[in-house]
């Protein structure tokens, strides 16, 4: 292994200076559950690992003015159990609770789930459906970019972890009249990547769906939004099974899962998209009415 140093900066500025000092040969590490494997497989061979989980501002995990702030060090377990996340964005709590295993969730970070850029990544799929924004910190300053736009289109992340940091992820909660849900099908409940996962977020005025956002994985090289299906839902009466069926059908047509020895045939997975989109929409609807459980 070529790693020669393990650094633990205390501020974002210090981390950036260390990255700059290694000029592309230093790499950020958060939870490390993906990175440690990639180091072993020589996908990356950095000279230095720069651990950002000790940076205080990255440890935040809170609700503020209807927004959920998820610091770069927040783990899947912390987000899955956080009362405000469960109340305001159950889709995210459920997705975070589906990743890996308890041992992985205790260490792997949600921001890392995004930067790893795996198309099946449960938390990232939920964040795309929620329209979450990532705050990118680089030598040029801080800028907010939708999580959805952090994918290169070729299965990678636009975030260069040798030069910049995802400092936090900000989620605008769907608010009153909103509801969200995450559903997933996998060979077993733990330690299994999903065959298909779906995150649904509905916005309503109490009787009509004003807008809807769906994200599906892994049916493309990144979390996939079936835009036609979303469009069909806007304006439909809340809880209309007919509208849900139509949207699910459309989402199935829009997505293009591949034949996979691990995940099943494209035909089967496309059918699964239909079923899971419908279920996610129904489940999200159940959660709209305030005071109801969920």
Partner 1 sequence: MTGTQIISFTLNGEQVEVAVKPAESLADVLRKKLLLTGTKKGCEEGECGACTVLLGGRPVNSCLIPAMKARGKEVITIEGLSPSGELHPIQQAFIEAGAVQCGFCTPGLILSAKSLLDRTPLPEEEEIKTELSGHLCRCTGYTQFVEAVRLAAEKMKQS
Give yes or no for residue 100 binding partner 1 (CB under 8 A). Answer: yes
Give yes or no for residue 189 binding partner 1 (CB under 8 A). Answer: yes
Site string for partner 1, 135-174 (x = CB under 8 A): ----------------------------------------
Q: Where does the chain have alpha helices with state H?
A: 12-22, 35-40, 76-81, 83-88, 90-96, 102-105, 110-116, 122-130, 227-233, 241-254, 266-286
Site string for partner 1, 7-36 (x = CB under 8 A): -x--------------------x-xxx--x
Give yes or no for residue 187 binding partner 1 (CB under 8 A). Answer: no
Closest Cα partner for 129 from 55, 59, 197, 62?
197
For 109, half-sphere exposure in the C-beta direction (CA atoms, 13 angstrom radius) is 28
Token pair of 99 as six digits: 């990743």
Among 17, 43, 101, 237, binds partner 1 (CB under 8 A): 101
Contacts of 103 (CB under 8 A, 6+ apart): none
Smallest distance from partner 1 to CB 29, Å:
7
**From CA 92, how far away is CA 97, in angstroms rounded?**
8
Among 10, 37, 241, 286, binds partner 1 (CB under 8 A): 37
Interacting residues toward partner 1 by CB under 8 A: 1, 3-6, 8, 29, 31-33, 36-37, 39-40, 48-49, 51, 53, 77, 100-104, 106-107, 189-191
């Amino acid at each position: 292994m070529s790693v020669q140093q393990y650094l633990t900066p205390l501020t974002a500025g210090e981390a950036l200076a260390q990255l700059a000092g290694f000029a592309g040969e230093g790499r950020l590490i958060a939870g490390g559950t993906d990175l440690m494997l990639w180091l072993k497989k020589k996908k990356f061979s950095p000279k230095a690992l720069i651990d950002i989980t000790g940076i205080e501002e990255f440890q935040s995990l809170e609700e503020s003015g209807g927004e959920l702030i998820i610091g770069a060090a927040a783990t899947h377990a912390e987000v899955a159990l956080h009362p405000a996340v469960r109340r305001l964005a159950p889709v995210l709590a459920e997705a975070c609770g589906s990743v890996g295993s308890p041992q992985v969730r205790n260490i792997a970070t949600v921001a890392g789930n995004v930067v790893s850029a795996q198309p099946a990544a449960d938390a990232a799929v939920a964040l795309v459906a929620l329209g979450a924004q990532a705050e990118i910190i680089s030598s040029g300053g801080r800028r907010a970019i939708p999580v959805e736009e952090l994918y290169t289109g070729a299965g990678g992340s636009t975030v260069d972890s040798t030069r910049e940091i995802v400092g936090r992820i900000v989620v605008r909660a769907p608010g009153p009249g909103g509801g969200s849900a995450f559903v997933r099908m996998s060979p077993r409940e733990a330690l299994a990547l999903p065959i298909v996962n779906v995150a649904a977020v509905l916005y309503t005025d109490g009787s009509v769906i004003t807008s809807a956002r769906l994200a599906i994985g892994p049916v493309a090289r990144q979390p996939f939004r079936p835009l036609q299906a979303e469009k069909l839902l806007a304006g439909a009466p809340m809880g209309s099974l007919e509208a849900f069926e139509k949207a699910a059908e459309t989402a199935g047509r829009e997505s293009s899962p591949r034949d996979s020895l691990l995940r099943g045939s494209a035909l089967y997975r496309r059918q699964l998209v239909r079923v899971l989109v419908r279920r996610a929409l129904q489940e999200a609807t159940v959660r709209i009415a305030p005071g109801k459980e969920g």
